[in-house]
Structure 1
Amino acid sequence: MILEEIWEKSLSKIEEKIGTSIFELWIKPIKPVQLKEQQFTLEVPNRFFKEWIEDYYPTLIIEILEGLLGHAVTLKYRVAEKQAAEIKRIEAKLESRKTRLASRGIYLNPRYTFENFISGQSNQFAQAAAKAVAETPGKVYNPLFIYGGVGLGKTHLLSAIGNSVIDSKQDYTVLYVSSEQFTNEVVSAVRHGKTEELKKKYRNVDLLLIDDIQFVENKMATQEELFYTINTLYEKQKQIVISSDRPPKEIKTITDRLRSRFSMGLIADIQPPEYETRVAIIHKKSDMERLGLKEDVVNFIAAKVKTNIRELEGCLIRLGAQAALTGSP
């Protein structure tokens, strides 16, 4: 298949997954540039498109491309607009770190750190617990179970723990995985007789970060493997951090013994951010993106978008993307 044909087929599959309105706004403007040595290069109109895709659908495009091509690919974005030197330098540094970590099998978002996590009454307990775990992994709060609604910062905290440990304990083996990916790996290992390889991969790490654990509901083989993985790591005093959209007692159709393992450390919840925290988040994001929002605009967004942080940040990225495309402030 030629480059354009591959991308056209990818687009139809992406639209099926995310819906027409999001597809039209964020995906349709992207252009394929090159496929060389298993690296697929895409051109995005400006940096906000790249950031939005990496935040909301970090693996979607790669998974679809790999399904069409039948082999692993890496994804590279080329920004069409001219960028300020400082922004370009920061972006290059983040991209370099991301590539470096990926080469070690660690797929963490380098943007998600403790330094840019805004703390407020709604999340300060979870943040404090995450920091304690990052400083002394395996010694306190094991496992750490963080729960809260969609877009409240659970993935940010998991990634911040991972990024912090990677920087401070360079000999540590860190693994970040979604429960969906873990399930896929369990299914594949059973099908191809590679369960020992799976055990070796997951039971010999110093820090295991599992995102969205609620998706192991009804998946008994996955639950069995997860139970023994957690047991093994706990006995070795290796750190486990788990996120979910609900507390362990509300995750249905999981075994009692697995629920017990989820609950044997510390359970920390994240609530929707209060107004003051929303204002602080908007200011921080605006500064990071060089948006220069006026105070009345900040207050307006904080008053209107109340549900979660992801919506707040999505709103700012859309503002930035629109301003960059139209040339208006």
Structure 2
Amino acid sequence: MKKWTILTIAVLAAILLVMQYLIEKKKVAMSESGQQAGSAEQQLGVALPESATTYTGAAVDNYVPDYVGGAQYGTITMPTIQSTYKGACEASSLQDMLASHDKYWGFLARDAAFNQNETQKMYDYLADYTACQAAARTDASLCDSLPSDVQIDGKKVDVRITPNYRCRTKTVSLFFEAYRAGNISGDSYCRLGVGTFDKQDLERFSVPEFCSVLPKGQEAIEGFLLKAFAVDSPEAKARVRGAFPVKEGDCAKDKECLTKYELYNAVKKARPDACPNDYVQQCRALAERSAVPCEKTLQEMSKFYCAAVARVKKASGGYIGLSKEEAKVELDKLKAQRAEADEIKKQQQKIMEEVNKQVRETLKKK
């Protein structure tokens, strides 16, 4: 019995030793794992290579604003733009015309509304008026109060015919040339224009450096860009001159180039009337830093609006701004009212005839 007791104690002791060994081994493994985890955490805190931070800095430095579109369609609101002009006819002030957007006119207007050409004309007038206001304040953000992207019956409208796009394109072009001519300062105006450049081209040069060179003249621009692109051919020089013209001969009759030249030349010489025809009021507003020249565009817009409203009212029987279904409901109401009026008239006539008959009979008896 004593022998079995001793044997049992020995076995239990062995088991305890094995368990203790396993526990110690697990502790060591956990300790090593913790050291490895700590090492990994330290690696996460290591500073990025200098090249990585340089890249990030260059990306921020070369920031140019992207075109992101404007407001939603529906009633257009421009709270910062006010006008005392009451309009060329009743209810044709700026606020009246904006309130009727997508009702009387607009891409999403009802059936009894302006036709496509009339709507486009209204959008162009509105874009030009807003661009003029933007020029007066040297603030391109005013264009963002105008709508841009829209779909009609599932088909996307070409953004280039939207008022936001037209306003921004004209404003950015004018500001860029004015900056190049030394009329306005602040490289934000330069960056707006650079935002229209090919994105791959922007990787070849520093935007701040380019903007600092831009007002220094065509030769300075040419030298900067030829060096940045590592080219020096006559063709490359001609392209630079065409992109930044200072005389008509730089353009080789290219229409876009001629517009740039006319804007640059007009601003440089402080002759706003020398701007392209559809920029004249905008150039005047920039030169005067005043919105007064913009009123001419607003007056033309109002006059056109009045004529279009009159045409639609005549064609729709007065139901402008209504859908076909709504117009039918209104027409049915009118028919019912007329029928009711006719019935009342008939009843009145019948009563009068009866009264007259009784009067005649009474007179005969006398």
TM-score bucket (shorter structure): under 0.3
TM-score by length of 2: 0.24
Structure label with greater radius of gyration: 2
Q: Higher strand fraction: Structure 1 or Structure 2?
A: 1
Q: Higher helix fraction: Structure 1 or Structure 2?
A: 2
TM-score by length of 1: 0.26
